[in-house]
Amino acid sequence: MMMVSDKKSDDVGIKLIETESPIMVNGKKIMMEEQRQGQLRSFNPKTEAGTQYLLNEFKTKDGVIIENLTYSTNSFNQAFEKLQ
């Protein structure tokens, strides 16, 4: 689960752990903070630049490759607009 927000108060999970290494997103390393709650793990970009890069990839590409897994971006823009 990837979570992106520009609000510092949008924190989910119980324990915030900074990952020791960046995560590869479409061939670019992005520093992430990891949150764990039981078996659920979510990753949040650590910097504003990382957040903008991740959002741009989902908004403009047909798919986003995160650590060798490809995620479809079909309907991402429509869903993102509904959230705003």
Domain ranges of the chain: 15-83
Place of tokens 């504003």: 48
Separation between Cα atoms, residue 15 and residue 12, nearest integer Å: 9
C-alpha distance from residue 18 to each of 75, 76, 80 (Å): 30, 27, 26
Give pTM, 2 decimals.
Answer: 0.71
Structure tokens at 43: 């990753």
Instruction: Using pLDDT thresholds of 50, 70 and 90, give the confidence band for residue 83.
Output: confident
| pLDDT for the residue numbered 40 | 72
Nearest Cα neighbor of 2 from 29, 27, 25, 20 is 25
